[in-house]
Structure 1
């Protein structure tokens, strides 16, 4: 308006905006009274004290958009999707298909997604120790076979055939 004031009060404008958004099929967040020193998380809907939030200098209020718990959950889901192309539900299906145990040791609970570093294809979900062991062997089947033979007591001693040429036992 020419006098610098709006034609409608704040509540009427907000109600009109809400009606227009709902007519478009969009959801409008309800305004919730929040005490000082607290913030409402849009994901879980809980009002929590600032001690349960991360600092964020770029946001208008100086706090992160989501509480610590919800933020960790969102980051975990985003990581699995970005790194492996899996949702958490798909990862849980893999674990259920393995009957809740590691594919290699068959005893520990699987926690780490294992994938081929060349193709990026997900192979399964392993326990920490087995996943670390595969990483130490750099996913080389020949090195893993030699290690298994060594552990089973089969001596792995190459025979010198010519200078610099060794023959491996069969």
Structure 2
């Protein structure tokens, strides 16, 4: 049981919003058809599919307006989407990223390519390990940070990489260290 009737409760809520500086709710000027929804930001009536889902219901604003509001919030609170991403995902800011990169002399911590842009972190603890280039970061991810898998990959590369072998002075042949171990097709 409510203390105020619906009309009085609505008036009190509206007065409270005004005192807090929240502007009045906009309402559509014409009734909205079934399967449609009105967006208060752009003032357009659109299909329900044009509004992002919030579980069972739909957001108040259409997708373009919803995305613009998100961009504006990220810019206002974090100074941009990069800063937002670094803080939310890794718990660091752009200054910390720049410090880590400076400690690595501006190079990828693994391959030494200049200007890496990807934060490497331990997936179990979330701790940031360093700054890597796209390929090195993806490679570690593909190996699931498993040292045993990486060691087997190194062993594989050492045994299967084609190399130049000197067979006579000035004459080289391209061979794999394991090539001689493979059975011939006629045997």
TM-score, with length taken from structure 1: 0.49
TM-score, with length taken from structure 2: 0.45
The structure that has the greater radius of gyration is 2
